[in-house]
Amino acid sequence: MVKIRPFKGYVVDPSIAHRLIAPPYDVLDSDEARIMAHGNEASFLHCNKPEIDLPEDVDVYSDIVYQTGHKNLQAFIANHWLIQEPEELIYIYAQTMNGRIQYGILAGASVDDYENGRIKRHELTRKKKEEDRTKLTDIQGANVGPVFLTYPASEEIDSVVSSVIARNAFADVTTDDGIRHTLWKCTSEESAVLVNCFENIPFTYIADGHHRSASAFNVGKLRQERAKAAGQEITGNEDFNYFMALHYPHNQLKIFDYNRVLRDLNGLTPEQFLTALRENFDVYDISERAPPAKHHYSLYLNGKWIGLRIKPEKIIGTDPVSNLDSFLLTQLCLAPILGIEDLTTSERIDFVGGIRGLDELERRCDYTKLPTYQEMRQQIFNEINNARTSPQKFAERMENTLNLYKANKVKCRYGAEPLFTNEGTEAAKEAILELKSTEHMHALEWSDGLSKASQFFCNESGSQGLIGRNEGNQMSFADRIARFGHWSESIFEAIDYGSVDGFEVVCMLLADDGLSSRPHRKAILNPRFKTIGVGCAPHTKTKTIANVTLSEHFIENAQTEAVEVSHERIESIIINDEWPENALKLTCQVHKGCEGDKKMEIIKKTWTLADGSTIEAQEVHEETGTKKDCVAAIALYPVMIEEVMAIADAGQIMPPKSTWFEPKPRSGMVVNVFQH
């Protein structure tokens, strides 16, 4: 039986929750946390990443860091940003991401259960990280972030949860990453029922938070020893004998694929690599990028997706780990062919959580292959027709871009400066929903005349740094169209600034950020339009400009002038995707330099904040000549939660980088401060 208990939580003030709730401590490094929390004194990162309030040269494992964490937590309590409940309760905490909801039970989990294996583990911990969290937990005297547990789904527990969430929530807030957080308080009677229900659950399983649970166990033992040394009786009910954990039923969790990107092929050519793979895999052509089933992989190589299926005779293990796709990929490909044996230390491989989508894998491999302006022109034409002929599939691809939106409604853009939007994810989500309900329609036909008119506008605007249609001495829209042909019935023009590939242009036009009537979206999805013209060019202020002209009927002039399209490639820069609180603008200066025989790219970034102040930071990247991040990527089929539980039941350890749970519980909604 599993023991849980209610606790007197310090609960976030709902009026400040949108500013206070923060990511788990272990998904950000210190620099990223500093940037994210800058200008926001209420960010909970001040409590779970306290080094951000100290000089950068301070050792993150020094005592002053832990003392700062304690001081900051006490300040949050003194400011009434966290308010203690008068009685011990259990809470229901729901997270909604992309329309999917998971309901968790926030309660104290037993240190004794952890010690005796009733809370099962599937990962090893690193000693230094475990010691770090142990010191912070002990000195703060609190669990500042919940451990993420799962349990075998129970109808009895589901019934209690359903009755609780039927009431109005105590707090309901959507954070800047688009995730909705909702909190309900159970009554003392409901809390007691849940405690009894969990006595019928044989085991719980750590989904995420192995270091947090290990540190909570360590603190429990430390405080037991101190109490005994002081002659105090240990009853087992002390606060330090429990740690805050969010318990989710296993059937509500979503595990994303955890994919591999390869920085080299161990000296092999792509053809030699494929030949070597055929020893252990069937290699076949695919039309869908995602692996269709377990023991299937999708390889992205040379701009093409290729299917891999493990040959049945190569699967010889019978234990749960030996049947995992991540384990088999290492045994049959990464180690014998590429010489990558230790995934935790090798610098020749990197990992991409499936939350970023398969487009991210393509970008990692083709990062430097930002298109030429001529290629981007064709991309826009293709992507608009994709949105019209297969709107549901386009919606799925567009949905994968939502994670690019950061705090303050900033959209990070691959190879370019981030973009400050008016609506953040809301406009994009609205477009996605509309696409999902849109009937497919005919493709648009390319018009040379309309495309010349679009290109003429882009060349004129881009070379002069003009924004909009009526700046400077620009030719009027009517005169420009008439220069290349004649339209009838209806015509529409859309302009995009700063996008670096055709897919991004079309996503931005469909989102129609800041325009409540969504004219661009309506035009792109209007079945009345028959022809299209597209232009692209460099822009001296916004980097790029794209123009799309749609017409119901268009007749080109018999003879028209040639309009030049740039063949140069759009220049990419690598920019960290974190964005400071209250930042409105980012400008970058890129310099080239050398470090020994290595060519370096130095990016000086200056953020302008809402109050007019600025923050400066610098990033240094090795310039490889192509700026290509990786040469190939391998997408895996997601691990099932039942596989994770089976591995823990067998006492085995999950191979590194096998599971990616999302959404992860955020910190700061409720804090468990020890009363003893």
The closest alpha carbon to 658, from 249, 358, 344, 346, belongs to: 344
Whether the CA torsion 65, 67, 68, 72 is positive or negative: it is positive
- In this predicted model, which residue has the larger pLDDT, 629 or 169? 169
Residues 105 and 140 in one domain: yes
pLDDT of residue 468: 85
Residues 143 and 27 in one domain: yes
The closest alpha carbon to 579, from 603, 629, 615, belongs to: 615
Q: For residue 570, tell me if it sits in a domain.
A: no
- Amino acid identity, position 100: R
From 556, 575, 594, the end of a domain falls on: 556
- pLDDT above 90 covers a percentage of the chain that reads 65
Segment 481-509, tens digit of pLDDT: 999 999 989 999 999 998 888 999 999 99
Distance between CA atoms of 401 and 504, rounded to whole angstroms?
9
Please say if the pLDDT value at position 626 is more than 50.
no
Q: For residue 395, tell me if it sits in a domain.
A: no
Residues 6+ apart with CB under 8 A from 390: 440
Please state whether beta strands 598-609 and 614-622 pair in parallel, antiparallel, or not at all (unpaired).
antiparallel
- In this predicted model, which residue has the larger pLDDT, 8 or 56? 8
Whether 359 contacts 635, CB under 8 Å: no
Q: For residue 565, tell me if it sits in a domain.
A: no
pLDDT of residue 590: 65
Residues 204 and 55 in one domain: yes
Query: Got the DSSP string for 569-635?
Result: BPP---------TTEEEEEEEEEEEEETTEEEEEEEEEEEETTS-EEEEEEEEE--SS----SEEEE
pLDDT of residue 574: 52
Residues 127 and 211 in one domain: yes
Angle at CA 447, nearest 5°, toward 441 and 449? 150
Q: For residue 569, tell me if it sits in a domain.
A: no
Q: For residue 469, tell me if it sits in a domain.
A: yes
pLDDT of residue 378: 94
Q: What distances in angstroms separate CA 598 from CA 108, 267, 605, 619, 625, one per listed residue? A: 53, 21, 22, 15, 10
User: Which band of pLDDT confidence, cut at 50, 70 and 90, is reported for residue 107?
Assistant: very high
**CA 155: distance to chain centroid?**
32
Residues 78 and 208 in one domain: yes
Q: Which residue has the tokens 């609506």?
A: 423
Distance between CA atoms of 644 and 256, rounded to whole angstroms?
13
Please say if the pLDDT value at position 577 is more than 50.
no
Distance between CA atoms of 56 and 35, rounded to whole angstroms?
12
**Stretch 531-545: mean pLDDT, rounded?**
93
pLDDT of residue 317: 87
pLDDT of residue 475: 84
Backbone torsions φ then ψ of 456, nearest 5 degrees: -60, -45
Question: Which of 92-101, 577-586, 645-654 has the lowest average pLDDT?
Answer: 577-586
**Stretch 282-303: mean pLDDT, rounded?**
96
The closest alpha carbon to 97, from 595, 505, 666, belongs to: 666
Distance between CA atoms of 75 and 62, rounded to whole angstroms?
21
Residues 189 and 268 in one domain: no
**Stretch 279-285: mean pLDDT, rounded?**
97
Q: For residue 563, tell me if it sits in a domain.
A: no
Query: DSSP assignment, residue 332?
Result: I
User: Which band of pLDDT confidence, cut at 50, 70 and 90, is reported for residue 624?
Assistant: very low
Residues 14 and 87 in one domain: yes
Residues 11 and 139 in one domain: yes
User: Which band of pLDDT confidence, cut at 50, 70 and 90, is reported for residue 370?
Assistant: confident
- In this predicted model, which residue has the larger pLDDT, 424 or 386? 386
Residues 83 and 27 in one domain: yes
pLDDT of residue 622: 55
From 556, 591, 612, the end of a domain falls on: 556
pTM: 0.66
The closest alpha carbon to 579, from 53, 40, 16, 24, belongs to: 40
**CATH number, domain containing residue 488:** 3.40.33.10
pLDDT of residue 403: 73
The closest alpha carbon to 209, from 636, 645, 668, 661, belongs to: 661
- Could you write out the three-class secondary structure of 115-140? HCCCEECCCCCCHHHHHHHHHHHHHH
Segment 373-414, tens digit of pLDDT: 999 999 999 999 999 999 999 998 888 788 777 655 777 765
Please say if the pLDDT value at position 425 is more than 70.
yes
Q: Is 237 exposed, middle or buried (0-12, 13-18, 19+ CB in 10 A)?
A: exposed
Structure tokens that stand for 369 in this block: 């292959």
Question: Which of 268-277, 368-377, 488-497, 525-534 has the lowest average pLDDT?
Answer: 368-377
pLDDT of residue 419: 74
- In this predicted model, which residue has the larger pLDDT, 484 or 609? 484
pLDDT of residue 420: 74
The closest alpha carbon to 76, from 20, 34, 160, belongs to: 20
pLDDT of residue 667: 92
Whether 448 contacts 558, CB under 8 Å: no
- pLDDT above 70 covers a percentage of the chain that reads 90
**Stretch 348-374: mean pLDDT, rounded?**
83
User: Which band of pLDDT confidence, cut at 50, 70 and 90, is reported for residue 84?
Assistant: very high
pLDDT of residue 573: 59
**CA 342: distance to chain centroid?**
25
Distance between CA atoms of 234 and 111, rounded to whole angstroms?
13
Question: Which of 53-67, 599-613, 639-653 has the lowest average pLDDT?
Answer: 599-613
Whether 164 contacts 262, CB under 8 Å: no
Residues 181 and 324 in one domain: no
- In this predicted model, which residue has the larger pLDDT, 316 or 115? 115
Count of C-beta atoms within a 10 Å radius of residue 200: 12
Distance between CA atoms of 221 and 177, rounded to whole angstroms?
37
Please say if the pLDDT value at position 636 is more than 60.
yes
Segment 431-442, tens digit of pLDDT: 999 999 999 999
**Stretch 645-672: mean pLDDT, rounded?**
91
Q: For residue 652, tell me if it sits in a domain.
A: no
Residues 134 and 11 in one domain: yes
**Stretch 287-297: mean pLDDT, rounded?**
96
Helices (H), 369-444: 373-389, 391-399, 425-436
Please say if the pLDDT value at position 53 is more than 70.
yes
Distance between CA atoms of 312 and 75, rounded to whole angstroms?
60
β-bridge partners, 593: 600
pLDDT of residue 380: 96
pLDDT of residue 625: 40
Count of C-beta atoms within a 10 Å radius of residue 229: 8
Structure tokens that stand for 556 in this block: 């080109």
- In this predicted model, which residue has the larger pLDDT, 660 or 194? 194
β-bridge partners, 545: 497, 537
Question: Which of 128-132, 495-499, 549-553, 623-627 has the lowest average pLDDT?
Answer: 623-627
Quote the number of domains for the chain. Answer: 4
The domain of 250 spans: 4-255+657-673
Residues 87 and 112 in one domain: yes
Whether the CA torsion 496, 500, 506, 510 is positive or negative: it is negative
pLDDT of residue 637: 97
Distance between CA atoms of 129 and 144, rounded to whole angstroms?
16
**CATH number, domain containing residue 326:** 3.30.1760
Q: In what helix (H) or strand (E) does residue 159 lie, and over which residues does it extend?
A: helix 155-165
Whether 20 contacts 81, CB under 8 Å: yes
Work out the mean pLDDT of the chain and round it to a whole number. Answer: 89
Q: Where are the beta strands (DSSP E) in 407-471?
A: 410-413, 416-420, 445-446
Q: For residue 275, tell me if it sits in a domain.
A: yes
Query: Got the DSSP string for 392-409?
Result: HHHHHHHHTTGGGEEGGG
pLDDT of residue 368: 52
- In this predicted model, which residue has the larger pLDDT, 57 or 70? 70
Backbone torsions φ then ψ of 552, nearest 5 degrees: -75, -45
